[in-house]
Amino acid sequence: MKVRAERLDEESIRYVYKTYMKIDFPRSELKPLKSILSPIQQKRGEGYGFYDKDELTGYAFLIKAPSGRAYLIDYLAVLPSLRDRGYGSACLSALQNILEEKNTLHSKILSTGENMKSTANEREYMIMVESEDPSFAADETEKQVRRRRIRFYEKNGFFDSQNVCRLFGVEYRILGKTSCMTQEEPRNMRCREELDSIYRTIIPKLVYHSQVKWM
């Protein structure tokens, strides 16, 4: 199954927010619309719709790290009527293709061996997700829901970075995916550093120090 990813303009984002996001996400997890639009308006975020032919199947909102080489999936959802049919994986695949194209376009094609190494580093990117940690679930049912969510990402090539962050009182396990093979320890460290840089960019300093705790 394949879907195509298209950048959402502000009008489309407002439509997706009011029509789908208010249903797809609990009030406790859903940011105000202005908080979703703000990073996009400041060129620090992107919104995508995923289409099967002309039918919207899902959507995603990303926040870009200051390095320009890492992205946090802030929201990802498949429309309720299409869930459990493989669209989630198709949306992730389409998103990865878009990011590969973006990073290729912004990389210089150099010819010498030394420069080729630096070009590969420039082209490498990371996608990150925050997934609620099953270890902190309130009951067994919630634990299984959280484990299933993590398995979905792992099935689609994400790795457990071994980082856990308590964000506004909720413990998240941080998963990541890189565009090329890297050693486990450096990629885990980079995952934390890139995500922390995003938090420091979008969260006011005083709030960051009280509400962001790496564990």
Q: What is the DSSP code string of 198-210?
A: HHHHHS-HHHHHH
Output the six-digit token pair for 38.
């703000």
**Length of the chain counted residue by residue:** 215
Residue with the bigger pLDDT between 181 and 31: it is: 31
**Span 122-136, mean pLDDT?**
88
Burial 139-176, CB ≥16 within 10 A → b, else e: eeeebeebeebbebbeebebbbbebbbebeeebbbbbb
**Span 36-65, mean pLDDT?**
95
Local structure of residue 31 (DSSP, 8 states): P
Local structure of residue 135 (DSSP, 8 states): G
Span 144-153, pLDDT tens digits: 999 999 999 9
Residue 28 confidence (pLDDT): 86
Residue 209 confidence (pLDDT): 96
Local structure of residue 28 (DSSP, 8 states): T
CATH, domain range 61-214: 3.40.630.30
Residue 104 confidence (pLDDT): 65
pLDDT category at 111 given cuts 50, 70, 90 is very low
